[in-house]
C-alpha cells in the first residue's frame, strides 16, 4: 500500500504534484462532514413558548394546575398578527425590576387563586409606602436569580405561599420549592418576608410557607418581618389583614421610609369597549385558546379542557332532603387517560338567574363586548381573564360571584356608595380594627353575603361594572375524586357528589355553584347530551403496587368515590388472575334506606368475593349515633393484625375537619390497646406509615 502512490506518480510523470495528499483530503472531508451534521442535523434547542395567559400561545392555574397543552395552536385569523409581533418572555425578574424601576417583588404559590390575590394586594399596597411592587408567578422566572436581588437598592421579596395536598407546594411553586431544596446559593443581603396560606384541619398545616421562611434564613436571607400564617379553616382574610397591618410598619422601619398617605383606589386595568368587532374573535367561556370549544384538540388540561358529554346523571339516594348524584362523563376520542384515585377538574358556570339579577341591579347591558387591559405594559398578565369578551360571559364563566367578597373588594367599592353611612361601614369592614373585623365577620362571613347580596343590601352602592369585574376573583375549577377505574371504564369518568343548597341567616338560598350546575346537566329524552369542560389531575392516592397487599378503605358519604374505583380495579385484577389481598371497606351514611350510596354495587362486589368485608355505619338508624370510627374500634384485633403483620395499606377519604381526625384517633387507640404502644409511639407509628405511603388521605374541609 505504501508503494502505490509513488508507482502511480511515476506512471503519470507529466501530471503536476497535487496540492493535497489523500490523508489531507480524508481529514478535510471528515471535518466538512462534521460541520454539515452540526448545522443541519443536530437537535435544535426547543424555543421557549410564551407563557402569558389569554394570548394564542399559552401555558398554565392557577389557579390551580398541571402542565398545559395546546401551546402552539393559533386561530388562523390571528396567526399573522402573532408572527408580526413575537412575544419574548423575560425570564429574569431582576432585569424586569430594574427596567420598570421596582424594588418589591411578591411571589405567589397559588392553587386556587387566593395566594395570587393576596400577592396582588401587597404589590398594590407598596406604592402607599413609597415603594413600587409587582406580583409574580415563580414558575415564569428563573428563581436562581434570587441572590441578585441585592443589586437593587432597598429591595425586598415577599412570598405568599399556599400549602396544597399533604404539605406539598402548589403546582406553580414546585420548581421554586425544588430549587430551595437543592441550592446552596448565598442569599446574604436578600430581604424577604413570607405569608403562608393553609388549613389547620390538615396535618401538614402551612408546611410550604414554614419551609420557605426557614430555608431562606438558612441560605442567609434577612427576614424583614415574622412569618405570617393564615388559616382557611378559621378566617384566612382576617389572618392576612392582621399580618399585613403589622408588616408594612415593620417594612417602613426596616428601610427607613414613611407612608405616603395615599389611600385612594388604584386601578390595575383600563377598560376598552369594542363597538365593532367580529364575534369570532370574542371569548365565550374558553379558558385559553380562542374557539377551543368549537375545535377541540388534545392534549386536554386546565387551559384546554375537554368538553365531555354527560352519559348518565342519576340520583343516588332514595329519600331525605339532600340530592346525591352519580354523573358519568364520556371520554371517547379525547385520549384522556386516568387511574383510580385521580381527580377530575370541572369548570362550572354561575347560575344564570344570579347573573340576570346583577344585570338588573347594576342597570347595565351585559352583552357589551369589552376588554380589561393591564396598565402595566411590562406585566405578563395582560388581562384578568380571557379578553375580549362580554360582561355576561365574564360574570357567567370567569368571575366568582357566589363567594363572599374579601375586605379589599369592599374597600375599593366603598367610593361608589353615595350614602355616607354605607360608605363608612364598608371602609370599616376593610380596616384592621377589632370593630371592623367583627362587623365583617358578622355582616359578610356569618351572613354569607355574596356580591349580589351586598349590592341588594346597600342600595346606594353603584360601582362601574368594569371595576367590579376587575376586583372579583376568578371562578375556579372544582375537583372531584374520580369514582371509577380507568382499567374498567377507559372511556368514561364517574363523579359522586352531593348538591349544596341551604338557607343563610339573611333568608337567602345559597346554592353551590358546581354541584347545582352538575345537577342540571340532564340527558334529555331525545338523546341530547349536555357537556362538561373537564380535565384530569393526577393524584398520589393509589392502590398498592402489589395487588396481594390488603387494603383498608374508610370513606363515609361521598368519600366513597375513589373507593368505587379501587374496588372496580381490585375486581379487574382478580379477573386477570392476580393474587388480590383482602379488600375491606368502612362506609357511613345516615339511614340504610335513604342514602346507602351504591348499595347494590357494593353488595354485589361482596358476594363476588371482591370486597372481603363491607362495614357500614348508619349514624341515625338508632338513638345513639354510630360512625365509621366506632366500627374501626370494634374490629381492632383484625385491623391491627392486617396493619402490623400483613403490610396493609390504609386509605381515608372525606371530611378533614371531623371524620379524618376521629379516624386518626381510632387508629391511635387500636395501636395503644393492641400493640401496647404509648400515645406518642402510636402517633409516630402512623406517621411512619404515611411516610411509607401506607396511610393515604384524600380529604377536604
Q: Is 680 annotated as a binding residue?
A: no
> C-alpha cell of 570?
381490585
Q: Is 230 annotated as a binding residue?
A: no
17 vs 465: CA distance, rounded Å:
89
Helix residue spans in 69-161 (DSSP H)? 76-84, 93-99, 114-125
Q: Is 613 annotated as a binding residue?
A: no
Within 10 A of 575 (CB to CB), how many other CB atoms are there? 12
Active site residue 481: yes
User: SS3 letters for 570-627?
Assistant: HHHHHHCCCCCCCEEEEEEECCHHHHCCCHHHHHHHHHCCCCCEEEEEECCCCCCCCC
Angle of helix 659-675 relative to helix 636-645, nearest 10 degrees, comes to 80
Q: Is 524 annotated as a binding residue?
A: no
Helix, strand or coil, per DSSP, at residue 98: helix
Q: Is 232 annotated as a binding residue?
A: yes
Q: Is 435 annotated as a binding residue?
A: no
Phi-psi category of 432—alpha, beta or left, where left has phi over 0 and alpha has psi -120 to 50? alpha
Buried b (16+ CB within 10 A) or exposed e, 541-552: bbbbeebebbbb
Q: Is 164 annotated as a binding residue?
A: yes
User: SS3 letters for 376-421?
Assistant: CCCCCCCCCCCCCEEHHHHHHHHECCCCCCCHHHHHHHHHHECCHH
Q: Is 112 annotated as a binding residue?
A: yes
> C-alpha cell of 635?
374490629
Task: Spot the catalytic one: 481, 484, 485, 696.
Answer: 481
Q: Is 322 annotated as a binding residue?
A: yes
Helix, strand or coil, per DSSP, at residue 33: helix
Helix, strand or coil, per DSSP, at residue 351: coil
Q: Is 416 annotated as a binding residue?
A: no
Task: Spot the catalytic one: 443, 572, 640, 700.
Answer: 700
Q: Is 436 annotated as a binding residue?
A: no
Helix, strand or coil, per DSSP, at residue 539: coil
Q: Is 136 annotated as a binding residue?
A: no
Q: Is 110 annotated as a binding residue?
A: yes
Task: Spot the catalytic one: 301, 466, 595, 698.
Answer: 698
Within 10 A of 147 (CB to CB), how many other CB atoms are there? 18
Q: Is 626 annotated as a binding residue?
A: yes
Q: Is 339 annotated as a binding residue?
A: no
Q: Is 503 annotated as a binding residue?
A: no
Q: Is 100 annotated as a binding residue?
A: no
Active site residue 653: yes
Closest listed residue to residue 393, CA positions, set 274, 567, 480, 511: 274
Task: Spot the catalytic one: 485, 653, 655, 696.
Answer: 653
Q: Is 460 annotated as a binding residue?
A: no
Angle of helix 561-575 relative to helix 599-607, nearest 10 degrees, comes to 30
Q: Is 394 annotated as a binding residue?
A: no
Q: Is 590 annotated as a binding residue?
A: no
Distance, C-alpha 342 to centroid of its chain: 14
Q: Is 504 annotated as a binding residue?
A: no
Q: Is 535 annotated as a binding residue?
A: no
Active site residue 698: yes
Going by their DSSP bridges, the two strands 369-374 and 133-136 should be labelled as unpaired
User: Which residues participate in the annotated binding site?
Assistant: 110-115, 162-165, 197-206, 232, 322, 478-481, 496-498, 502, 512-515, 558, 619-620, 625-629, 662, 700
User: Which residues participate in the annotated binding site for FAD?
Assistant: 478-481, 496-498, 502, 512-515, 700
User: Which residues participate in the annotated binding site for FMN?
Assistant: 110-115, 162-165, 197-206, 232
User: Which residues participate in the annotated binding site for NADP(+)?
Assistant: 322, 558, 619-620, 625-629, 662
Q: Catalytic residue positions?
A: 481, 653, 698, 700
Amino acid at each position: 500500500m505504501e508503494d502505490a502512490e509513488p508507482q502511480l506518480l511515476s506512471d503519470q510523470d507529466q501530471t503536476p504534484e497535487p496540492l493535497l495528499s489523500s490523508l489531507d483530503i480524508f481529514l478535510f472531508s471528515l471535518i466538512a462532514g462534521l460541520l454539515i451534521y452540526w448545522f443541519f442535523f443536530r437537535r435544535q434547542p426547543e424555543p421557549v413558548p410564551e407563557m402569558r395567559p389569554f394570548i394564542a400561545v399559552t401555558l398554565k392555574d392557577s389557579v390551580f394546575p398541571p402542565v398545559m397543552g395546546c401551546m402552539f395552536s393559533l386561530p388562523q385569523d390571528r396567526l399573522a398578527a402573532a408572527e408580526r409581533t413575537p412575544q419574548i418572555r423575560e425570564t429574569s425578574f431582576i432585569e424586569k425590576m430594574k427596567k420598570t424601576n421596582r424594588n418589591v417583588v411578591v411571589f405567589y404559590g397559588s392553587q386556587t387563586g387566593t395566594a395570587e390575590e393576596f400577592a396582588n394586594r401587597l404589590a398594590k399596597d407598596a406604592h402607599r409606602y413609597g415603594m413600587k411592587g409587582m406580583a409574580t408567578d415563580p414558575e415564569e422566572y428563573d428563581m436562581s436569580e434570587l441572590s441578585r436581588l441585592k443589586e437593587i437598592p432597598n429591595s425586598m421579596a415577599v412570598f405568599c405561599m399556599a400549602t396544597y395536598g399533604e404539605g406539598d407546594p402548589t403546582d406553580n411553586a414546585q420548581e421554586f420549592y425544588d430549587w430551595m431544596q437543592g441550592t446552596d446559593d448565598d442569599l446574604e443581603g436578600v430581604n424577604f418576608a413570607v405569608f403562608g396560606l393553609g388549613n389547620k384541619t390538615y396535618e401538614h398545616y402551612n408546611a410550604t410557607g414554614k419551609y420557605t421562611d426557614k430555608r431562606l434564613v438558612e441560605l442567609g436571607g434577612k427576614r424583614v418581618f415574622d412569618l405570617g400564617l393564615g388559616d382557611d379553616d378559621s378566617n384566612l382574610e382576617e389572618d392576612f389583614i392582621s399580618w399585613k397591618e403589622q408588616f408594612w410598619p415593620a417594612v417602613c422601619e426596616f428601610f427607613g421610609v414613611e407612608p405616603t398617605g395615599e389611600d385612594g383606589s388604584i386601578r390595575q386595568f383600563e377598560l376598552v369597549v369594542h363597538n365593532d368587532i367580529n364575534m369570532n374573535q370574542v371569548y365565550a367561556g374558553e379558558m385559553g385558546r380562542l374557539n377551543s370549544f368549537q375545535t377541540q384538540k388534545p392534549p386536554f388540561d386546565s387551559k384546554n379542557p375537554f368538553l365531555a358529554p354527560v352519559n348518565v346523571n342519576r340520583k343516588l339516594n332514595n329519600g331525605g332532603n339532600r340530592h346525591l348524584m352519580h354523573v358519568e362523563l364520556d371520554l371517547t376520542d379525547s385520549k384522556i387517560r386516568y387511574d383510580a384515585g385521580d381527580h377530575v377538574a370541572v369548570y362550572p358556570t354561575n347560575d344564570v338567574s344570579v347573573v340576570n339579577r346583577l344585570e338588573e341591579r347594576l342597570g347595565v347591558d351585559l352583552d357589551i363586548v369589552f376588554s380589561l387591559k393591564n396598565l402595566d405594559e411590562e406585566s405578563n398578565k395582560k388581562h384578568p381573564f380571557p379578553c375580549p369578551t362580554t360582561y355576561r360571559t365574564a360574570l357567567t364563566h370567569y368571575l366568582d360571584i357566589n363567594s363572599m367578597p374579601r375586605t379589599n373588594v369592599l374597600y375599593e367599592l366603598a367610593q361608589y356608595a353615595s350614602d355616607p353611612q354605607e360608605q363608612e361601614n364598608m371602609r370599616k369592614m376593610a380596616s384592621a380594627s377589632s370593630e371592623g373585623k367583627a362587623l365583617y365577620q358578622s355582616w359578610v362571613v356569618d351572613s354569607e353575603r355574596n356580591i349580589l347580596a351586598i349590592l341588594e343590601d346597600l342600595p346606594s352602592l353603584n360601582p362601574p361594572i368594569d371595576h367590579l369585574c376587575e376586583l372579583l376573583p376568578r371562578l375556579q375549577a372544582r375537583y372531584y375524586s374520580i369514582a371509577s377505574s380507568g382499567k374498567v371504564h377507559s372511556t368514561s369518568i364517574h363523579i359522586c357528589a352531593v348538591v349544596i343548597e341551604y338557607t343563610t341567616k339573611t333568608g337567602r338560598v345559597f346554592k353551590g355553584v358546581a354541584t347545582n350546575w352538575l345537577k342540571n346537566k340532564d340527558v334529555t329524552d331525545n338523546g341530547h347530551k349536555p357537556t362538561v369542560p373537564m380535565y384530569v389531575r393526577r393524584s398520589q392516592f393509589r392502590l398498592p403496587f402489589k395487588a396481594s397487599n390488603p387494603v383498608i378503605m374508610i370513606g363515609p358519604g361521598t368519600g366513597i368515590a375513589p373507593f368505587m374505583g379501587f374496588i372496580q380495579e381490585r375486581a379487574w385484577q382478580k379477573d386477570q388472575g392476580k393474587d388480590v389481598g383482602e379488600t375491606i371497606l368502612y362506609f357511613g351514611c345516615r339511614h340504610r334506606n335513604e342514602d346507602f350510596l351504591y348499595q347494590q354495587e357494593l353488595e354485589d362486589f361482596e358476594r363476588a368475593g371482591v370486597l372481603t368485608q363491607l362495614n357500614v355505619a348508619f349514624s341515625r338508624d338508632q338513638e345513639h349515633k354510630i360512625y365509621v370510627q366506632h366500627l374501626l374500634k370494634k374490629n381492632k384485633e383484625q385491623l391491627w393484625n392486617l396493619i402490623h403483620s400483613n403490610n396493609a395499606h390504609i386509605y381515608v377519604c372525606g371530611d378533614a375537619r371531623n371524620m379524618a381526625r376521629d379516624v386518626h384517633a381510632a387508629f391511635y387507640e387500636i395501636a395503644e390497646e393492641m400493640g401496647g404502644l404509648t400515645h406518642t409511639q402510636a402517633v409516630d407509628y402512623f406517621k411512619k406509615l404515611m411516610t411509607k405511603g401506607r396511610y393515604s388521605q384524600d380529604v377536604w374541609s
